[in-house]
Amino acid sequence: MGGMFHKAMLLVLLAVVPTSAHAGWISEWTNTAFKSNGDRVNTEQLSMSIAGGHMRTDQPDVISVADYNTGRFTLMSPQRKFFWTGTIDEYVHEVARSRAEGMSKALAQAGEKAAEAKGKEKEYVPPKVDPAKLPPVSITKTGLTDKIAGYDTVKYEARVNGELFQEIWVAPSLNVSSDLDLDRFLDFQRKMSAGMMGKSASSYNALYLSDDYRKLLQNAFVLKAVTHHSAGSFERTATSVRQADVAASQFEVPDAYRRVKLADVLAPPPQGS
């Protein structure tokens, strides 16, 4: 389940019944993962729709919908016609639960004693981050520029505790604030990153709480980001961005979909699908 946040931080053919539409944005992206030696691991294409405080991301095996107005998060499997939905706190809870179940199974298979937690689960408390314990963040303008998806961009570097964590290319002329409230977006990301594990977790937490990071995104949009971590790096680059009317149904779950556990939505698709 460790890959859930990447599947997620990120995301059906919907009913053809005419529905209302919101002015918004449609963009296409390329995601590429690299090993620490620079070798490419995999590349995938995704599309993103933003309108009225919602963001939908279509990846090959999963579709995610973030409602920043209500703080709800929805994941859909177009192959199985499954879906899961809940608050962002419930999402983090489910990920933590699945992670714990996976560890218990691994211990049991290894012949070690696994605690029987069924029916004894403690009341869930959303994870909290203490800003005072986070590493320092610095945002630096490099002076480098590039044209990405038809927009002029400026490159910045985000360092956490002095180490390069993200390279960020922002387009100053691309302002999507009428469709995406920055403070609600960052609050959503903070709650999600609070449930992460590993060294990168503290870096994400520190970045999303940084005032300098918020100022950078206040009136600009990120069109490329390279995130560095212990296993290598992850790059997301926009290939096209355009204004468009986005149907409200794009942010809804089709009637034909069945609600299931989060783990069932994010399980690998059946072979041959």
What angle do the packed helices 182-194 and 199-208 form, to 10 degrees? 160
The yes-or-no verdict on residue 244 having pLDDT over 90 is yes
Tell me yes or no: is domain 4-266 CATH 2.50.20.10: yes
Using a pLDDT cut of 90, give the percent of the chain over it: 63
The yes-or-no verdict on residue 5 having pLDDT over 60 is no
The yes-or-no verdict on residue 34 having pLDDT over 90 is yes
Q: In 3D, which of 104, 82, 66, 83 has the Cα closest to residue 192? A: 66
The yes-or-no verdict on residue 105 having pLDDT over 90 is no
Domain boundaries, the chain: 4-266
3-class state of residue 253 by DSSP: coil
pLDDT grade for 16, boundaries at 50, 70 and 90: very low
Average pLDDT of the residues in 17-35: 78
The yes-or-no verdict on residue 227 having pLDDT over 50 is yes
pLDDT grade for 108, boundaries at 50, 70 and 90: low
What angle do the packed helices 88-109 and 182-194 form, to 10 degrees? 20
176-210 per-position pLDDT tens digit: 999 999 999 999 999 988 878 777 889 999 999 99
The pTM is what?
0.82
DSSP-derived letter for residue 60 is: S
